[in-house]
Amino acid sequence: MAFGHLAEQDDATRLQRLEDWIDQGAKSPRTKELGDALRQGATPADRAKALRDAAAKVDMFNCEIAKILEGPVLPAKGNGPPMVRLFGEPQIIGVMKPEDVAKVLIDATPAMNDCYKKGLEKKADLAGKLAVKLKVNPDGKVTSLSPADESVPDKDTAMCILQVLKGMEFPKNPGPLVSLFLPLELTTSALPPGASGAALRRRVGAPVPMPMPGPMGMPSSLVPRMRPGGH
């Protein structure tokens, strides 16, 4: 589940939102038992541990909510347009220029944003992350694609974005296959200054003859580290 803006709320509010969901939306008795463990936690770290312990019992070893519970209260961000954007460093394994990856992502952004907008029409607080692994053949076609990690609480929206990614076309490469890992997030938080498509292309070293339509947000500290081969 994605609890929108949970990181921007204080400890008491975070706990209350989790309790409310467990009381009203949880279907499994084991999930309801988790509410008692959360209430008994004396500190945010105790409650984060309770979530991780419960997740480990069902072979889930990554709990984003646990990270939020023990993390600081983040400043509230201004509202921005619905955006599907990178939240971490892409990985490239094979022979492909980082600037080519950046351009293809920029070109695909408007269609991914449209998927997200449709999802928001059904669920106003829709947000989450979608990390995707894909392979590109020498002709530049995406031959396989699969989610590596997903926390988008709307399957139609996630599938729509995956279809957009499946249809991306990259420049030809020497092959045999190029592997890409793309960590994406769905958010309505305002973009940081300069996080436009043109700024993205500059940071990876590609020439920018004119501004690119469809911004693709990427943390500036991450972009320069994109290298062929994932290094």
Write b or e for each residue in 41-58: b if 16 or more Cβ atoms lie within 10 A of its Cβ, otherwise e. beebeebbbbbbebbeee
CA geometry: angle 146, 147, 153, nearest 5 deg: 140
Tell me which of 73 and 104 has the higher pLDDT.
Answer: 104
- Please, what is the average pLDDT of the chain? 79
> Which of 4-13, 86-95, 157-166 has the highest average model confidence (pLDDT)?
157-166
Confidence of residue 111 (pLDDT cuts 50, 70, 90): very high
> Using CA atoms, how far apart are residues 5 and 114, in angstroms rounded to an integer?
22
Q: Which of 6-10, 20-24, 58-62, 210-214 has the lowest mean pLDDT?
A: 210-214
| Predicted local distance difference test score (pLDDT) of residue 178 | 95
| Predicted local distance difference test score (pLDDT) of residue 23 | 78
| Predicted local distance difference test score (pLDDT) of residue 61 | 67
Closest CA to 55 of 31, 21, 20: 31
Beta strand extents in 87-191 (DSSP E only): 91-93, 128-136, 142-150, 178-189
| Predicted local distance difference test score (pLDDT) of residue 6 | 81
> Using CA atoms, how far apart are residues 227 and 231, in angstroms rounded to an integer?
5
* 26-41 tens-digit pLDDT: 677 777 778 888 888 8
Mean pLDDT of 146-167: 92
**Contact present, 215 and 82 (Cβ < 8 Å):** no
**pTM of the predicted structure, to 2 decimals:** 0.55
> Using CA atoms, how far apart are residues 52 and 224, in angstroms rounded to an integer?
33
Mean pLDDT of 148-167: 92
> Using CA atoms, how far apart are residues 219 and 225, in angstroms rounded to an integer?
11
> Using CA atoms, how far apart are residues 106 and 100, in angstroms rounded to an integer?
10
* 42-69 tens-digit pLDDT: 899 999 998 888 888 877 767 888 888 9
Whether residue 123 has pLDDT greater than 70? yes
> Using CA atoms, how far apart are residues 121 and 211, in angstroms rounded to an integer?
30
Confidence of residue 20 (pLDDT cuts 50, 70, 90): confident
Whether residue 8 has pLDDT greater than 90? no
